[in-house]
Structures are given as C-alpha cells and as structure tokens.
Chain A
C-alpha cells in the first residue's frame, strides 16, 4: 500500500528531516508513527499529502510513485486519502452538514446522494439533529468526529491522522481511536501519528518509531 524507499528530505543545508527512511505499510494495516518532535513525522505526512516531494528516494502509494504525479492529478490522489488533523481543520462558517459534504461536492455527487450519505454519517457520529450547527458550537471531541466523518465520506482506502487525539480528553480520544479501529477492521489502511504512549500501547498496533529522520521499528 505505502512504501518509503530510502527517502531523504533536506530542508536546510545539513539538516536532514528524513535520512534514508525506508518502511512499508501493507494494505489493511493499522500503523502508529511515533517519535519525538523533529523526528520527521510531519515531513512523512507532508510527503504523503503530496505537499512536498522527497529530495531522494521513492514513495509508492498503491504502486504509484507519488513524486511523479502531475500537478493536475494531485487533487484526485488526495481524494483517495482521508486526512484527520490535530486541529480538526473544519470550515467554521459552514454547518456540520456542509463540512462533511464537502468532499462529495468536490466530486460532483448528486445532491440526493449527498443528503442521504451525509445524514447517515452524522447519525453514526451521534450528532443527529445538529446538522445545521456551525462547528463553533461543538466540543473538541465532536469537532474531531466531524473531521473524521468528512475524511471517510468518500470511502478512501487509506486514512492518515496527524495527532488526532492531541486536543482531546481521554474519553474523546478513545472514541476517536475506536472509530479509526472500526474503519481499519472494515479494511481501511490507517496511519496515525501520535505522541500519546498510553493510546499507542493500549491499541497494540504496529509502531514505526522515527528518530532523527530514520525508522526504528
């Protein structure tokens, strides 16, 4: 599914964000990416978002070298990945419904289908009846649930979550991890960057630990 092959990323002279990083994630796996600040987790995610490209090495996602994706193809690539961020990255001037519907709107999905699919998703995250509420009025846990619902609305084969529990209390953090686990059990590949040792340990999943841009599994 994902294969980092001797990847280097150097942002400034002599500062290697990634230093000959190699690892792979199989289809249907649930993987934690851990490590101290500056270890290279954000760089890995930026490369996987295709925000950036490696200076050396290859990154294969579903057997395609994403560094060679044409600029015009990048949006289509991103639609096959569900992103979840620590700070939710919701659009605060739109309702919960509109936030979750956005990826479907991008793909010109029929309005009737959007209506049904989004309402089903809202029910699943327990926010039924609050479709028209702005994200301002939600708790941190609810915001992250909305973000997760948006990330999976297109049924992507791969979910990347960057510190998804970083701003949540323990109860909400577990709810989010449980939802990610359920998605993984349904066949979605999940990669989570996390500092939370307790969650990483209790989830009992494979861990790729990064240190100074190298993988230490």
Chain B
C-alpha cells in the first residue's frame, strides 16, 4: 500500500513524463510485435516455398524402366529425401493434357514428346540436401537433365533473411531506445525528487523503501505501454487488411497470423510482459547512478 501511494505521487508529479514513457514503450512493443508478425509471416512463406521444392530428373528416351525403378529405390535412401516417384512418359502426358491449354499443345506433336522422369520431394530443404540429390543423379547412367528451382529459392531465402535482419535490427533499436527513454524519464523523476530522497534518508528510510516505488513505477509504465502497443498492433493489422481488401480485393483475413484468434490473450500477455520487462530494466538502469 505504502509503495503504491508513493508510485501514485510520482505519477501525479510527473504526469507528462509518465505519458512519454508509456508512449515510448507502446511504440517499442508495436515495433517488436510488428517484427514478430513479419518474422512469422516470412518464416511461413519460406516453409511453404521449401515444401514445394522438388527435383525433377528427366531420363533418356528408352531408358530401361527396371534401372529407373532401381534408381528410385536408391534415391529414397538419400538423407533429407521425403519421397521419390517414377513418372512414366505416359503418366506425364496424361497429366499434361488435363490442362486444356496444354492439351492443344500436346496434340500438335506427333506422339508423346515427354520423357520418363523421376520426381524427388525433399523432407527438409537445405542447400546440402539439394546438392546431395543432384550429385546422386548426375552420377547415374540414363539421366538427361536435372531441374530444380535452387537458385530462385536461394535468392528468395537471401531476400527474406535480409528483410528479417533489417526488421530485427529496427526492433532491437526500438527496444534499446525505449529502455533508454524509460530509464532517463525515471532518472529525471528521481532527480526531481532528490530532496525528498534526502529527507527519507535522514529520517531513516531503507534503500528499498526509497527505490522500490521507482521500480514499481517503471513496471506500471511498461505494463500500460505493453497493453497499448498490443492494441495498436491489432488495430494497424486490421486496418491494413481492410485497406488491402478494398484496394486489391485480396483477403488476408483468413491467414492465421492475421486472425483475431492470433491476437489472443497469450499474445496480449506476452506484449504486456515484454513492456513490463522494458519498464523494469529501464527503472533498474536509472537507479545505478543516483542511488550510489
């Protein structure tokens, strides 16, 4: 109770500075939450793209089907390979002509121009797995060509990594800035109350009696900032989804990261916990110099 009274007095005395502190933490949580959402979205995209990566091995026309089946069995033993399927030229043709456009193109050829092929699906996409599969088939007899989207995927991963790095650095800068602002605001509060602190000391107040209210104040700033930051993020995501829908007709509201369920109590509590952590550390940093 006593500490809460002191905290209330601090708030009363430095209402504007308290607002700045809460606002800064809210912005930091907004930035960190935004970083988290962007990071999750990018990871989701990469995973989806990686799941679609497959290596298609085209075989020489007339290659012995038994040898091809043996190649399939051997390829299944490669680390990181999920599935290997032999696609005969007849099956490939039948698949192609299901598409009306391809149907017309195929009909323009005499007979079936497609070769037998082997499709390899990867369990975990890595450069090494891909290289292992390519090396395996390159060394085999009867292989005419190997196709995979390796270069495109590597480029995509590089771009995504760069975006993640930039967003991550921005998030860290915001967090550090928030920490410094909170720390300095509480330091100013402590400075403004230095006479009171002196009086407290003279009449026998313990260090905890003097310090704890400032720490609680920092945590309360963080708590409020965390909650407001979460609310801002939720609002901004919803406004963006609505605007994108209006402007382009694309509806992202079904994407799991942007559903109301994702901004649930857990996300809110995490934001509040992160904000409170910022407030706590800000308050602790502010105490080092003044309380020596």
Contact = CB atoms under 8 A, between A and B. Distances in A.
B198 interface: yes
Interface residues of A, number: 19
Given A93-B9, A93-B13, A105-B2, A79 B199 contact: no
Nearest to A103: B203
A89 B202 contact: yes
Contact of A106 (B195, B196, B204): B204
B205 interface: yes
Interface residues of B, number: 17
Interface string A129-168: 0000000000000000000001000000000000000000
B204 A79 contact: yes
A89 B206 contact: no
Contacts of B195: 89
Contacts of B196: 91
A78 B206 contact: no
Contacts of A94: 9
A75 B205 contact: yes
Interface of A is mostly: helix
Interface of B is mostly: helix
Interface in A19-58: 49
Contacts of B12: 93
Contacts of B207: 75
A76 interface: yes
Contacts of A72: 206
B210 to A, nearest CB: 10
Contact of A78 (B2, B203, B209): B203
A107 B203 CA distance: 11
A8 interface: no
A78 B9 contact: no
A4 interface: no
Nearest to B203: A103
9 A-B pairs with least C-beta separation: A79-B204, A78-B204, A75-B204, A75-B206, A89-B199, A103-B203, A83-B202, A106-B205, A91-B196
Interface of B: 2, 9, 12-13, 195-196, 198-207, 209
22 contacts: A49-B202, A72-B206, A75-B206, A77-B204, A78-B201, A78-B202, A78-B203, A78-B204, A79-B204, A83-B202, A91-B196, A93-B9, A93-B12, A93-B13, A94-B9, A102-B200, A103-B203, A103-B204, A106-B203, A106-B206, A106-B209, A150-B203
Interface of A: 49, 72, 75-79, 83, 89-91, 93-94, 102-103, 105-107, 150
